[in-house]
Amino acid sequence: MSKVPARSAVKTAIQMIHRLKPGTSLQILNFKRDRSVSIVRHPNGHMDVIEQGFVQQVWSVDDDTASTVLKEAIPREFPRSHELRFTVKNAHEKAE
Domains of the chain, CATH where assigned: 2-89 (3.90.70.20)
Task: Give the mean pLDDT of 46-55.
Answer: 94
pLDDT attached to residue 91: 72
Instruction: Report pLDDT digits (tens) over 4-49.
Output: 999 999 999 999 999 999 999 999 999 999 999 999 999 998 999 9
Beta strands in the chain (DSSP E): 2-5, 24-29, 36-41, 47-52, 57-61, 83-90
74 backbone φψ class: left, alpha, beta (φ>0; ψ -120 to 50): alpha
Asked if 31 contacts 81 with a C-beta cutoff of 8 angstroms, the reply is: yes
Task: Give the residue among 46, 38, 23 at the shortest CA–CA distance from 70.
Answer: 38
pTM to 2 decimal places: 0.88
Residue 53, amino acid:
G
